[in-house]
Amino acid sequence: MTLIATVWSPEGFGISADGREVSTDPEKQPEDVQKIFYTSFANETGFAWAWVGGVRVDFVSGRRYDLKEITQRVMAELPEDAYLDDPDSYFNRIANRIFYELPTDVSLPHRTDDEVIFVGYLAGKPLWAEIIFQHREGGFFPPIVIEPKIKPRHFHAFAGSPTMCEKMEASGKLFQPTNLPEAITAVHEYAKTCVESQASVPDCREFGGTVHVATVTKNGFAWVIEPAKGRALPP
């Protein structure tokens, strides 16, 4: 599972993730995985993206699929400015290309809903988009593309631990940020608290590793806390 938190403020988005990658192979559980990626920025346009859910499966045979790797490859093949005029078509192209690369004969023992979240800016206006991939006993369903939202209001997504979300909401820590430092604090505290609570909170037990935090503004992407040294991947 993956822990991702992102929240919007009038000054930009904060986004965070843990660094543990849980796979079906118990001997492959790295703690220094980068989970937040980004496009180049030009003319106040660009975004970051991150997967939520079980994004990698390793099989005994040695075969595997990794949604992060597939998405990186798909994104690299698309023109960087392709979504300027038609963001709906752009994110549908991403969804269809990812789906095309997924195995058609994979039957997992449980139902899963994996999703990739995009946050960023389109001509200086905040943008959010989401693509959901459902897996049932028979395999993957065609992706669901949530219509890209331009200028989203009160947007936030705290994926990973419902328990921790409830605790932070009850304590008043999940408020709508008014500036970028507040957005950074919110996503960082959520990720850090989930990782530190893995032994005491059941739905945090799979999170761990190096928490990394970034910002996305109309001027570009910037790391606040970088991924573990040596494992950061280029955009």
Q: Which residues contact 41 (CB under 8 A, 6 or more apart)?
A: 121, 219, 220, 221
pLDDT at 231: 42
pLDDT tens, residue by residue, 92-122? 989 999 988 887 666 665 657 788 999 999 8
Distances (CA, A) of 69 to 39, 61, 152, 168: 15, 19, 28, 32
pLDDT at 225: 92
Question: What percentage of the chain reaches a pLDDT higher than 70?
Answer: 80
Does residue 224 register a pLDDT over 50? yes
Distances (CA, A) of 152 to 12, 16, 119, 127: 11, 19, 10, 7
Domain architecture of the chain: domains with CATH: 4-225 (3.60.20.10)
Q: Model-level pTM? A: 0.85
End-to-end Cα spacing for the chain: 22
pLDDT at 58: 60
91 or 156, which is more confident: 91
Q: What residues does 12 pair with on adjacent strands?
A: 9
pLDDT at 233: 38
Does residue 25 register a pLDDT over 70? no
The mean pLDDT value of the chain amounts to 80
pLDDT tens, residue by residue, 38-89? 988 888 888 999 988 777 766 555 566 788 888 888 888 887 667 777 888 8
Q: Average of pLDDT values for 163-189?
A: 84
